[in-house]
Amino acid sequence: MKAITEHLPPEVLHLICSYLSPHEARQIRFCCKALADVGAAYGFEEIAFYLWKADFEKLRAVARHPTISRHVKTLIYMAANLNEQPISLEEYIEYTTRGAYRQNVERCNPNWLPDTVPKVESCDLHQVPLSVEDVQENYRHYVMAIEEQRQILSTREDFDVLREVFSRLPSLRSVVMENDSSFFPEFYREEKSPFNAFFDYSMQPLEPEGVRQMDAIMHGLAGSGIHLEVLTAGYLHLSLIDKRFFDGIIAHCGGLKSINLMFSTADTDVTIHEDDTKYIAMARPLTAKGVIASFLSAMPQLNSFSIGFQTSLSNRLFYPAAFRDIVRPGFKWHHLRKVHLVAIKSDRQEMLDFFELHKDTLRSVYLRDIRLVKTSWTRLLRRMKEILRLDDIRLCSWLHGKVEDKNDYEPPARGETRAKFENWWLGDPEIDKNRCLSEDLTDWFLGDRPYPLTHPRTRRLGEFADYDAPVELY
């Protein structure tokens, strides 16, 4: 291998490594010095870490390495953590009877299970039970991990590590704080979690969500000299919809080209069937202050922004923010190419004004769970298709609007009354196994397919199609 690579120019080696996965690029570094340098450029571009002592040690090792440290471009802070108190051994053993948990643990090294324990081939574990003796060592390490986590939190070791690491990564351009896969799936690393070695799957994020992690990230960036271009974070507690939080981002990374923030409007301790209205009531007064719009307009260099709100309400008939709370009317980002919005309300002209203003640069639009309060989605979409030159558009989940002209739709079937409101369940191509309305809309918008929303309501969803006017709680 050494003899071959000696005669290949660096450009060819880089081209070869560009086709490798990060894992393969790291493996090829052991072949020779030439590939060690080139492999580092492709094997360590993205580093994910958890609130875990071993991950902190790896981070420090990467930051201190003279070659690898120069190639790290993205750090991902995975915010999942073990609960503060360990569950009982009895409950822990009960979890070992669940096939998916057992298989995850078996894939980890180390997992502290005896070598004599047979591997399971399916989710049916009745034929391969684990004894108390088998699982005790794994449980002991689980309890130790919780204590280790408690010490990290009390000593603020995560703050110290990020302060040390950021300043040693000269190519770092993107930081991600991720505690859920729903909205940033490209960054999610659940399958790599060190906590998969344990049978306790009742993990919760630190409360309030995202606050400590973002504080640690800002602490690390302060004085680091890093020119961050992309910041992605979700979920974030509502308390972070605050001028002080946004001013901190501007102070430490005001040159961002892309900002992606997903706020949680649900309490992690309640289920979808319980009362969540107190958290819903908190959202509107915070977003209505306009601090998000002021924050985004303070970064005129942005080429992409994503702002959204997660709610546990199943049909997303709750809108924590208005479009004007996110986008200041009349403000223009001269390089804006991509916009991503989730769970907001607006009106047709308000959104058209924005699209008209950015039609020369905008190339990608993602809208999910959006309501037009008094105007029609059909009219907005047809006008958007006329004025925008998009490479990609995705409309997902619920769209709610109001019929402006009955002639925009086919006549109702015999026995049906004309609907006054538009209510469509579009689905999500990332989740749905079968083709959904979202894909039909994309094909219509980008091509020559017929307009798919020929009726003002989705007909095939049973009880969901029975909604008329959307219920707005706040």
The predicted structure's pLDDT at residue 464: 42
Amino acid at 387: I
The predicted structure's pLDDT at residue 44: 85
Which residues, listed in sequence order, are joined to residue 402 by a DSSP beta bridge? 421
- Reference 341, options 322, 359, 362; nearest CA is 322
Under DSSP, is residue 94 helix (H, G, I), strand (E, B) or coil?
A: helix
The predicted structure's pLDDT at residue 24: 67
The predicted structure's pLDDT at residue 226: 93
The predicted structure's pLDDT at residue 207: 86
Amino acid at 290: G
- Reference 75, options 110, 42, 98, 48; nearest CA is 48
The predicted structure's pLDDT at residue 123: 60
Query: Where do the domains of the chain lie?
Result: 1-43, 89-152, 237-466
pTM: 0.88
Rounded mean pLDDT for each run of 10 residues along the chain, 474 residues in total: 59 68 65 66 85 95 93 92 91 84 87 84 63 93 95 96 97 90 51 85 81 96 94 94 97 96 71 53 88 98 95 63 97 98 95 98 96 96 98 94 91 74 90 89 95 79 41 41
CA atoms 82, 83, 84, 89: torsion sign = negative
The predicted structure's pLDDT at residue 280: 63
Would you give the distance in Å from CA 238 to the centre of its chain? 16
The predicted structure's pLDDT at residue 469: 43
For 343, which DSSP code? E
Under DSSP, is residue 262 helix (H, G, I), strand (E, B) or coil?
A: strand
Pairing of strands 74-78, 46-49: parallel
